[in-house]
Amino acid sequence: MSFTSLDLIDGLLRALESIGYKNATPIQKQAIPAVLAGRDLLAAAQTGTGKTAAFALPLLQRLALEGEQAAPNHIRCLVLVPTRELADQVFQSFQTYGFHLPLRSAVAYGGVPMEPQLVKLRKGVDVLVATPGRLLDLHRKGAIEFAQLQALVLDEADRMLDLGFAEDLDLLFSVLPAQRQTLLFSATMPEQIRQMASQLLRDPLTVQASAPNTTARTVRQSVFTTDKRHKPELFLHLMRKEGWGQVLVFVKTRKGVEHLVGLLQDEGVSADSIHGDKAQHARIKALKRFKANDVQVLVATDVAARGLDIEALPLVVNFDLPTVAEDYIHRIGRTGRAGAEGEAISLVCADEVDLLRAVEKLIGSVLPRQEEAGFEADHRVPSTGAAAAPAARPAAKAARGGAKPAKAAKPAAPVRDDTPRPAGGFGGLKEEMPPKEKPRSRGPMYGARGGSPGAGTGAAGRAGGRGSSAGAGGAGGGKVVVTATRGAKSTARAAGRAAAHAKPGGRGNKR
């Protein structure tokens, strides 16, 4: 489905044309009419399927066509994200999509001086992308007023709870105007998100553009069983043997990250890191160098698991499995984006069998195992065969053009998402998502008001109508479920907080 048939205004269509987006993805087809119609939304779709544009495009349109200009220190739309790097990326997306609209955007997160953010907010902004901690600090200083707030987006909300932001969020929600549009987006739908949705959303639509908690079909997944002490050598061995190029590696702790980076550098591999102990400017630089392919291996904690869009990243390695099963889906979702092929390899030792079981249960499949000669596990990793429902279809490996098994383990059920799809692609996305051009460089961090207003071809709310997206699977769409649910308040807040506090991890971006 083309964007024109979604009743987007000319300014947005021109921006989409210039970055090479031709057709809307399934989540965009579903979400855009509903958001334009003013509905609250609980939206789930696999990693890398264009959720950012699914909320940014209709919100930019509504902001361009409705409401008063932002007064000093006021914001009209707030997008909350869990990490600083994701905040930058989402802000850049708003800048790109809104290039031809007379709207101001800004980004605010911790770890960098507050003063420039205070200055930018003084004039008032239409869209503020922020992490929760810095947002509240700015609000306490009187730099942000919410009286004009029209829309709130929570992107990866469960991660904000995992990071210990539950109380900050409660505080924030208590000062936001009740009359607003609220959108919740994620690639996974843990109970925390559903509870938050029942607390925050008014008569929402639930849109699922793929079966919940599924991984992209284009990502080939496997496990190498080994002993903990062999992991660094196994990593280096596989890297050389398989001729790995760019690789994003996830390690459980910050110390572990630095240890692996040191080891790789000692072996002459160009490697850098991202984690919560690093200064923000060093984090930004590391990501930039990795994206530009100036560094081959980026080693990170889960601070890099959510949302980051690294063009054509071929491989993600879980050096350690994540402690929260959902993070497995987000981590490996850094590859195989927008219909591209990708590979995800997990190095698993006996200690991690429960984590492996939890991941397999979540994704509904047993991960194929391999063992590499010379790195076999002395401490056998127990079988997890019963953990997950057996997949219904034949071997994924063959279907995907073949993996490169080092040494075949006992055949395991393939990893796949059983969402019905049309033949020949990733939910039709391969066909629907043409290779995009690089977005233009957008200059300074904060968007200046400028450009000519898009010549509106339609008023916000004209497209769709309440529930207009119901049942429209769309050409090439995966299974699309659209339901209307009523918010059931009360216990949700306490339950969400309890769930958040049950999880490890410090506050903010400190992972």
Q: Of 350, 324, 387, 348, nearest to 221 (Cα)?
A: 348
Radius of gyration of the CA atoms of the chain, in A: 22
Element spanning 233, H or E: helix 231-242
Non-local (6+) Cβ contacts of 452 within 8 A are: 11, 100, 102
Task: Cite the beta strand spans of 217-296 per DSSP E.
Answer: 219-225, 247-250, 271-274
Q: Of 363, 373, 379, nearest to 413 (Cα)?
A: 363
- Closest CB 86 distance from ligand ATP, rounded Å: 8
- Closest CB 104 distance from ligand ATP, rounded Å: 22
What DSSP letter does each residue of 15-60 carry, written as one string?
HHHHHT--B--HHHHHHHHHHHTT--EEEE--TTS-HHHHHHHHHH
Q: Which residues of the chain form contacts with ligand ATP (CB under 6 A)? A: 21, 24-25, 28, 45, 47-53, 187, 307, 309, 333, 337-338, 433, 436
Between 25 and 226, name the residue whose CB sits nearer to ligand ATP. Answer: 25
- Closest CB 269 distance from ligand ATP, rounded Å: 26
Tell the residue number behind the tokens 């968007």, with chain if given. Answer: 447
Between 52 and 384, name the residue whose CB sits nearer to ligand ATP. Answer: 52
Taking the C-alpha atoms of residue 224 and residue 123, their distance in angstroms, rounded to an integer, is 54
* Residue 444: other Cβ atoms inside 10 A: 9
Task: Cite the beta strand spans of 235-353 per DSSP E.
Answer: 247-250, 271-274, 297-300, 315-318, 342-348
- Closest CB 339 distance from ligand ATP, rounded Å: 8
* Residue 211: other Cβ atoms inside 10 A: 16
Between 62 and 337, name the residue whose CB sits nearer to ligand ATP. Answer: 337
Between 47 and 370, name the residue whose CB sits nearer to ligand ATP. Answer: 47
Between 28 and 318, name the residue whose CB sits nearer to ligand ATP. Answer: 28
Between 28 and 365, name the residue whose CB sits nearer to ligand ATP. Answer: 28
Residue, CB closest to ligand ATP: 50
Between 338 and 381, name the residue whose CB sits nearer to ligand ATP. Answer: 338
- Closest CB 175 distance from ligand ATP, rounded Å: 27
Task: Cite the beta strand spans of 13-53 per DSSP E.
Answer: 41-44
- Closest CB 199 distance from ligand ATP, rounded Å: 22
Q: Is 413 in a helix, a strand, or coil?
A: coil
- Closest CB 53 distance from ligand ATP, rounded Å: 5
In the beta sheet, which residues pair with residue 184? 42, 154
Between 197 and 413, name the residue whose CB sits nearer to ligand ATP. Answer: 197
- Closest CB 195 distance from ligand ATP, rounded Å: 20
